[in-house]
């Protein structure tokens, strides 16, 4: 089996535009959760009034404005999620130093970038305009701005990448599926380099209304946004919607070595499972999560006891966090596992950025990669009290320095789809 390593990282998140700002602020226990009431009156009537928004401003301050990343003509053609994707892809490719021009290299480079929801804003505005004004109100750019695979399409068009071009859309598991599937394409020989990840931007009143109706969102912390996303905490009460993108450059090991690329970590395993249970609720026993992690470890040929860190999916919902916690303990306290739950290091970085839906798995895999590369456990913000069953080390509030050789990043989505990536230090 061809080995796959990570050689470039790019991200736009509620903590900032760019990996450097995002990672620095994450380790400083910063957060990107703000009130949505300033976004307009449509937001003030909703039960949840907090969100992880990408901070606006200039690129040199680690903030986002489209014109710093792409020409106005492209900005007009692209949905915001696709803009975040193209900016993050640009950063990741610069970081990897991969700028191919030869035909063979372009053919060996592919793109998989997914999104959970896509361009809800465009669908909404055009629906309203069409219903009032009919055919003449529909923009010729409506379809290209709507389609989810256009993020991957735009990246390949900009750089001329002629390898596989794909887009996963599996709700909140999208980012992990995009990266995991891309690693399989490299392992199988369909490509030598893949630009892979997820992007999301649907901080729209209709999206918030929908998730609130599904009773998924935090509603009790509207006056204190930065305390609203509290994975594993006793007072957790729903997720906080967020936006952004995470993109990685994945590369076949010998290819990376031949060009002396910087290697952050290796993709050691990828596990997938389905709850086969319910549209939105997890199985209480966490079986789906357990199976996904176990498959990832089997693929990595690693034992549960080898796992130093788990970046949990934990979105700050009552049921989801409990199910995942149960699954993690079942996996790591097994016969060949740890003897004490307090030795298990788990954190959920959603405390700092909220839940980026289709981008979540990609951004979190990126955090997990840096945890390995820098030997540090990123914190779970707002974790004050835990109930009895929550007895792992959740890295509450502040980052912890600790050698991380092998780690797991989890993502679970509506529809019962679960996936785990197992990442390891490159040796």
Ligand X SMILES: *[C@@H]1O[C@H](CO)[C@@H](O)[C@H](O)[C@H]1NC(C)=O
What is the binding site for ligand X (CB under 6 A)?
121-122, 125, 234-235, 275, 280, 282-283, 286, 288-289, 308, 320, 323-324, 327, 343, 345, 384-385, 393, 400, 402, 412-418
List residues bridging with 267 in a β-sheet.
Answer: 4, 423
Closest CA to 237 of 223, 248, 227: 227
Nearer to ligand X, 289 or 366 (CB): 289
Nearer to ligand X, 165 or 400 (CB): 400
How far is Cα 293 from Cα 324, in angstroms, rounded to an integer?
Answer: 10
The most distant pair of C-alpha atoms in the chain lies apart, rounded to whole Å, by: 67
How far is Cα 222 from Cα 50, in angstroms, rounded to an integer?
Answer: 6
Active-site residue, selected from the candidate residues 172, 202, 392, 422? 172
172 is annotated as an active-site residue: yes
How far is Cα 40 from Cα 71, in angstroms, rounded to an integer?
Answer: 28
Closest separation in Å from C-beta 130 to ligand X: 13
Identify whether the C-beta of residue 255 lies closer than 8 Å to the C-beta of residue 193: yes
Nearer to ligand X, 261 or 419 (CB): 419
The string of DSSP codes covering 239-281 is B-BB-EEEEEEEEEHHHHHHTT----EEEEEEEEEE--S-SSP
Nearer to ligand X, 42 or 61 (CB): 42
Closest separation in Å from C-beta 143 to ligand X: 13
How far is Cα 51 from Cα 368, in angstroms, rounded to an integer?
Answer: 23
Closest separation in Å from C-beta 49 to ligand X: 18
Closest separation in Å from C-beta 310 to ligand X: 10
- Which residue has the CB atom at the shortest distance from ligand X? 282
Closest separation in Å from C-beta 63 to ligand X: 19
CA distances 354 to 52, 317, 341, 412, Å, are 6, 11, 26, 15
Nearer to ligand X, 190 or 391 (CB): 391
Identify whether the C-beta of residue 163 lies closer than 8 Å to the C-beta of residue 107: yes
Catalytic residues: 172
């Amino acid at each position: 089996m061809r080995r796959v390593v990570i050689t470039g990282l790019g991200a736009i998140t509620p903590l900032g535009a760019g990996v450097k700002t995002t990672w620095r602020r994450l380790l400083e226990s910063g957060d990107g959760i703000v009130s949505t009431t300033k976004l307009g009156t449509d937001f003030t009537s909703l039960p949840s009034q907090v969100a992880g928004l990408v901070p606006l401003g200039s690129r040199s301050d680690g903030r986002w404005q489209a014109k710093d990343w792409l020409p106005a003509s492209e900005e007009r053609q692209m949905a915001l999620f696709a803009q975040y994707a193209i900016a993050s892809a640009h950063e990741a490719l610069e970081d990897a130093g991969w700028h191919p021009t030869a035909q063979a290299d372009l053919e060996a480079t592919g793109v998989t970038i997914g999104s959970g929801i896509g361009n809800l804003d465009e669908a909404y505005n055009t629906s309203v305009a069409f219903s009032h004004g009919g055919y003449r109100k529909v923009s010729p750019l409506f379809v290209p701005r709507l389609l989810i695979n256009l993020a991957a399409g735009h990246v390949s068009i900009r750089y001329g990448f002629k390898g596989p071009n794909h887009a996963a859309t599996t709700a909140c598991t999208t980012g992990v599926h995009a990266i995991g599937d891309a690693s399989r394409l490299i392992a199988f020989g369909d490509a030598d380099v893949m630009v892979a990840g997820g992007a999301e931007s649907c901080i729209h009143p209709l999206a918030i209304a929908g998730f609130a109706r599904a009773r998924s969102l935090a509603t009790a912390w509207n006056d204190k946004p930065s305390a609203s996303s509290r994975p594993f905490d006793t007072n957790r009460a729903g997720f906080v919607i967020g936006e952004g993108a995470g993109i990685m450059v994945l590369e076949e090991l010998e290819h990376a070595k031949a060009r002396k690329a910087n290697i952050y970590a290796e993709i050691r395993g990828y596990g997938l499972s389905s709850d086969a249970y319910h549209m939105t609720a997890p199985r209480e026993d966490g079986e789906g999560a357990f199976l996904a992690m176990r498959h990832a470890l089997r693929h990595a040929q690693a034992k549960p006891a080898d796992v130093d860190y788990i970046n949990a999916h934990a979105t700050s919902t009552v049921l989801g966090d409990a199910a995942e916690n149960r699954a993690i303990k079942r996996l790591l306290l097994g016969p060949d596992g740890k003897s004490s739950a307090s030795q298990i290091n788990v954190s959920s970085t959603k405390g700092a950025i909220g839940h980026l839906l289709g981008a979540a798995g990609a951004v979190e895999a990126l955090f997990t990669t840096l945890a390995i590369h820098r030997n540090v456990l990123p914190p779970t913000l707002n974790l004050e009290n835990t109930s009895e069953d929550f007895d792992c080390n959740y890295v509450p509030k502040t980052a912890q320095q600790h050698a991380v050789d092998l780690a797991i990043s989890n993502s679970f989505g509506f529809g019962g789809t679960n996936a785990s990536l197992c990442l390891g230090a490159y040796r």
